[in-house]
Amino acid sequence: MSGSATAAPRPLAVALALAAVYLVWGSTYLAIAIGLEGFPPFAMGAIRMLAAGALFYAVLRWRGMAAPTSRQWRNLWVMGALMVLFANGLVNLAQTEVSSGLAAIAVASMPLFVAVFSTLKGRRLGRLEWSGIALGLLGVGLLNAGSELAGSLLGMLCLVVAPLAWAWGSVWSRDQDLPSPFMNAAGQMLCGGVLMALASLLLGERFTGPPSLDAVLAVVYLGVFGSIIGYSAYVWLLGNVRPALATSYAYVNPAIAVLLGTLVLQERFDADTWIAMAVILASVALVTRPPRPA
């Protein structure tokens, strides 16, 4: 993949990038919930991604970074569909019916799918990893059967497809011709933002009135922190560390999202949801554990 590191990344750089995806992305579920009070789901995603992507792309070009090649743009359109339209867009849509904390818990299953998809690329999984995947699927089943998701078919479908799309995009991207990490992130946001705008038009989304200041500020936060900072950090991690570490944010985000949802939005969760979250996070810990030395 073009733009991949040729030397081991600095530990400080890895730590800062992980902090960005751990903390910033954990808070985006709350920001999405607030933004949805004034914006339709796909329109909000399109505004967020197009604004952030255009600004980031312009700054990178101004600093002399090469534009993606035609082949790289084709790959960026695929990544924009998987990582932005289907992953981010469907989480937005799901949160029109389910709480921010529950959405984060469901998305936490994503590293399990990364592990499974990695087998298609030749990676062999050990017994402990397969046990973690089986345990995680049990947790996903518990979440869908025993939480508020059981009453929302739309939310359930969205929160199954979204982590699948993100996982496949994360694995597929490692073997593709893509630009350097920052240009990669900007291009994905631009392509995905266009696809989100088309989805918004096709679905006939409409604004019911002028968005509130809180909703506008939430979308600004999503664009600056969730997209430019968080997304760039994640793309950089994909090219510089093993996929399991890059996707390990999935078992930190739910704790942050649940905490913020409880404190700010007064969200409440039943015992089944807490049990499902514990099972999913335990399974992710098994799947993403560091490999043993040879």
Note the residue count of the chain. 294
pLDDT means per 10 residues in the chain (294 residues)? 55 86 90 95 96 95 94 96 95 91 81 80 73 74 64 84 92 88 92 97 93 95 91 83 75 81 81 77 70 54
What per-residue confidence (pLDDT) applies to 76?
Answer: 97
Residue 22 has, within 13 A of its CA and on its CB side, a CA count of 10
Query: pTM for the full model?
Result: 0.83
What per-residue confidence (pLDDT) applies to 250?
Answer: 73
